Amino acid sequence: MSLFDYQRGIEIYKEDEPFYALIMAAMLKADTNNVAKLQRVFPDVWLELQHRYNAPGGRLKGES
């Protein structure tokens, strides 16, 4: 990590983004090793991300 990463982390924290949105964003951005780690820790989030990624507009069945 770097000072830039830390400072950007503070900015993102102040934006008050939902926790799972941050996890999904990290999964989308992560390299192979880090996405594997995130998958192990958040398997349900990974599964939902995959379903939403492949669904039109990210909407799952029953969502309008």
**Nearest residue to 41 (alpha-carbon basis) of 20, 15, 60:** 20
Q: Which two tokens stand for residue 64?
A: 């309008």
> Which 3 state secondary structure label does DSSP give 48?
helix
Is 64 inside any structural domain? yes
Is 41 inside any structural domain? yes
Domain count, the chain: 1
Is 4 inside any structural domain? no
CA 24, chain centre distance (Å): 1
Is 9 inside any structural domain? no
Which residue type does 38 have?
L
Is 55 inside any structural domain? yes
Structure confidence by residue, pLDDT tens digits, 21-58: 999 999 999 999 999 999 999 999 999 999 999 999 99
Distance CA 58, CA 64 (A): 10
pTM, two decimal places: 0.86
pLDDT value at position 32? 98
Distance CA 64, CA 55 (A): 12
